[in-house]
Amino acid sequence: NTDNHLLVVEGAVAFADGKIALSRPIEDSFVIVYPGDGLKNSVTKLSKNAQIDMFGPAVISDINAYQLQRIQISDSDAPVGVDFGKQAFYVEPSYASGTAVEIGSSGNLLVVGILLDDQDKPLPLKTGYLVADHNPDKRLFFFTNRQGRFSLLGVEQGNYYLELDSTLYTST
């Protein structure tokens, strides 16, 4: 008397925009939702029974192509100060495609100022970047209005310098 048993395990390896994750089988399109700096080691639940946890990014594997679909952040044990930005985002993928979306940033500061020249006169209608000293690849675009005012949302604590019209201005 021989008992035969069969175990079937199905899954997928999802890859999009340089991100990789394990998933349930994917039949059409998918979204990889991965944690930003502020969500490392946190559990974040999303709509469509997906979550970011210790196993890695969430993969939403039942996305229909060519249809605008909403994905909601429903719950998180993220530390105080994490900025999710929007509580929901929308995707409209093409057929058999993948999209990667980052959520959760430790940048929760608002920087507001007036850009002045060396004679303390406002610099109107200028564009530039706020660049982190510790990571020059992290650049936040800004522009000034007619009175030289600017604002930046989502800035992390730290030291920065300004790049403006190919001129370097330093600030901490």
Give the closest residue to 76 by CA, choosing from 107, 102, 48, 38. Answer: 38
Q: Which residues of the chain have pLDDT under 70?
A: 1, 81, 83, 85, 106, 166-172
CA–CA distance, 135 with 114 (Å, rounded to integer)? 24
pLDDT at residue number 36: 81
pLDDT at residue number 172: 46
CA–CA distance, 78 with 41 (Å, rounded to integer)? 8
Q: Which residues neighbour 57 within 8 Å (Cβ) at sequence distance 6 or greater?
A: 19, 21, 32, 33, 34, 35
Residue 38 is classified by DSSP as: G
Residue 43 contacts residue 77 (beta carbons within 8 Å)? yes
Q: Provide the whole-model pTM.
A: 0.64
Residue 43 contacts residue 104 (beta carbons within 8 Å)? no
pLDDT at residue number 167: 56
Give the closest residue to 58 by CA, choosing from 43, 37, 77. Answer: 43
pLDDT at residue number 170: 54
Residue 93 contacts residue 29 (beta carbons within 8 Å)? yes
